Structure 1
Amino acid sequence: MTGGTAAIVVAAGRGSRFGGPAPKQYAALAGRPILTHALARLAAHPRIAAVRAVIHAEDAAAYAEAAAGLDLLPPVTGGAERQESVRLGLESLHEISPSNVLIHDAARPLLEADVVERLLDALAHTPAALPVLPVTDTLKRGSGARVTETVPRSDLFRAQTPQAFHFAAILAAHRAAAGQELTDDAAVAEAADLPVALVEGSPKLLKITTASDLAEAEGWLGAGRPDNAAAGEVRVGQGFDVHRFGPGEAVFLCGVRIPHAKALAGHSDADVGLHALTDAILGALADGDIGSHFPPSDPTWRGADSARFLRHAGTLATARGARLLHCDVTLICEAPKVGPHRPAMRQRIAEILGLPVERVSVKATTTEKLGFTGRGEGIAAQATATLELPRSP
């Protein structure tokens, strides 16, 4: 990658004010780690080409679970302070040379695509941009238990993340500011005399610091409810796909290579199982189909591993605050025999989507020698995906 936009998510902190047995970025929000929401929303944005997390050296296992099913760059280890962690993250991106970079805190999981759009649009005119909300409360300065001054709130703003920068400029600024412990990356830019534009932030983009903040975020997602209350909106999507046989020596079905006298013909690896399941998830999200996200006319996807398509659909679901409850794939063919490969297929789908394998079903059937599948001309697949989405306000 040269040019374009990358993002780093700072997730190396310990979150001592939050409490709990693990750092706050790994606490559950609507059934997924807080960090997962932050990563997924960045990874799902079409104008962001690469996402990398900066994590604590002790969190490798927790991070792997949080990042399962997401298409991300490998994480890097952070430093003792946030500013050092950001610099290390930026240094790690030097090899891919993005034009722009977003720097985001893992503790702000509810990033909206519109905020990213405003930030990136601003970078066309300025080297740095910051999402903010105006201060609406009256501000007081105090000493001990007494008010000493009322502070005018005009021209005061609450800074949020992600903060957006021209990559080379903010990397140079962080190198120059090493050891200063500035409070955010916009302050690093200011210290380097880089002009910082203000763009509209979002009330949803709250920073989770305490348990009450987590409850507020649950509320935004529609997930803050008693166990016996109505669940979020449950949707079922369906998908169907067909590929004919052509010359070859193996087929790919549900992410597993199976030796066979023929191969399936298609622009990608022609994995009908993963294609059908990708369409099922996109259908539940009402977000087009596999062809609208990965056009067959685009040579980029020639011979592509279909796991990439399914992972993208899973990332979109997580970015919407959705929880994938169950998926079911039925393969329709006379040959090859699916039964011996079924456990591997279920495991592969579970790995791609970051699901427990017990939430994945793979079945096979024939058409009793009827139709094109019965004549051995190809393989068909149908799939369903059941998702729970936050209820609309």
Structure 2
Amino acid sequence: MDIAPMIIKSSAMSDRIIAIVPAAGVGARANAQGGQTPPKQYRLLAGEPMLRLAVKALLADRRISQVRVAVAPGDVRAEAVLAGLPRTVVRPCGGSTRADTVLNALREPDIGERDWALVHDAARPGLPADALGRLIDACLSDGTGGLLALPVADTVKEGTERVSRTVPREALWLAQTPQMFRAGALRQALRSAALRHTPVTDEASAMEAAGHKPLLVRGAARNAKLTWPEDFEWMEKWL
């Protein structure tokens, strides 16, 4: 795959959407063989690498101008895995953490302050097109941006070995991706979090730390993140 920068016209348009897929990790929790299998983003699901499925899910919405897959420097798998997909480029800008990888991707000079950055986990290959569409519709109508999430359905307990309390679940949500924010605001939020050593588990948490209140847009159960070895079995059946 040609990984040379794709030329995208920069204009007064403020609704250009650039998708970023951080894929620089090794997925240790998903590896049941102690390092004997490829990083989880390259594991096969229904005959296709999970990373390719995740990128194809994003390409289903034509409003996404480009998908930029951020991999670790020296990663030689991504080009072949993503070969032939339109509007897709590989960037060897992966950092030591997810936040570092996303920030590195956002530092590319052709990404404008007012462009939208839509960040999606490589480990969420089941993203439905309607959920993606809901997020984009909501964010284009909002000045801050937001994320897909699901209301907590189960009773939530707090404690270690014994329950200390039951947590009211009415206002609790399980965060998913994609998460979509103005590129300039997200870049600044991630940079500030890094300087302050603020823990960042997703893009929304960085935006929250910067004083923003992201939208919560209903996601989908099929958009679950594959974390443990057994997750691949049920997702393959679902696909």
TM-score, scaled to structure 1:
0.53
Correspondence 1:161-240 to 2 at 5 A: 161-178=177-194, 179-221=197-239
Aligned to 2:4: none
Counterpart of 1:141 (choices 125, 145, 158) is 158
Aligned to 2:130: 114
Aligned to 1:11: 23
Once the two structures are superposed, residues 313-347 of structure 1 have per-residue CA deviations (whole angstroms, 9 ceiling, x without a partner) of xxxxxxxxxxxxxxxxxxxxxxxxxxxxxxxxxxx
Match of 1:198, SS state, is strand
Q: Is the 8 A contact 2:148 2:179 kept in 1?
A: yes
Cα distance in 1 for residues equivalent to 2:201 and 2:219: 18
What amino acid is the match of 1:65?
Answer: A
Once the two structures are superposed, residues 73-128 of structure 1 have per-residue CA deviations (whole angstroms, 9 ceiling, x without a partner) of 23232111111111011112x41426211011100111122122211222222312
Correspondence 1:127-138 to 2 at 5 A: 127-138=144-155
Decide which structure has greater strand share: 1
Aligned to 1:101: 117
What amino acid is the match of 1:70?
Answer: L
Q: Are positions 1:84 and 2:100 aligned together?
A: yes
> How far is the alpha carbon of 1:165 from its aligned partner?
0.7
Match of 1:204, SS state, is helix
Cα distance in 2 for residues equivalent to 1:201 and 1:54: 24
Percent identity for Structure 1 against Structure 2: 41
Counterpart of 1:64 (choices 73, 76, 79) is 79
What amino acid is the match of 2:187?
Answer: L
Cα distance in 1 for residues equivalent to 2:154 and 2:45: 28
What amino acid is the match of 1:63?
Answer: A
What amino acid is the match of 1:129?
Answer: G
> How far is the alpha carbon of 1:213 from its aligned partner?
1.0
What amino acid is the match of 1:74?
Answer: V
Cα distance in 2 for residues equivalent to 1:202 and 1:211: 21
The 1:207/1:9 distance shift into structure 2, 3 A limit, reads same
> How far is the alpha carbon of 1:58 from its aligned partner?
3.9
Cα distance in 2 for residues equivalent to 1:41 and 1:146: 41
What amino acid is the match of 1:79?
Answer: G
Cα distance in 2 for residues equivalent to 1:171 and 1:121: 22
What amino acid is the match of 2:90?
Answer: P
Aligned to 1:362: none
Cα distance in 1 for residues equivalent to 2:91 and 2:49: 16
Match of 1:155, SS state, is coil
Correspondence 1:189-338 to 2 at 5 A: 189-221=207-239
Q: Is the 8 A contact 1:7 1:52 kept in 2?
A: yes
Cα distance in 1 for residues equivalent to 2:122 and 2:30: 14
Cα distance in 1 for residues equivalent to 2:230 and 2:90: 32
Number of residue-to-residue matches in the alignment: 218
> How far is the alpha carbon of 1:39 from its aligned partner?
1.0
Q: Is the 8 A contact 2:29 2:229 kept in 1?
A: no
Instruction: Please list every run of at least 4 consecutive aligned residues from structure 1 whose deviation after the TM superposition is greater than 4 angstroms.
Output: none
* Structure of higher CA gyration radius: 1
Q: Is the 8 A contact 1:9 1:52 kept in 2?
A: yes
Q: Is the 8 A contact 1:18 1:209 kept in 2?
A: yes
Cα distance in 2 for residues equivalent to 1:150 and 1:96: 45
Match of 2:89, SS state, is coil
TM-score, scaled to structure 2:
0.86
Q: Is the 8 A contact 1:7 1:50 kept in 2?
A: yes
> How far is the alpha carbon of 1:45 from its aligned partner?
1.7
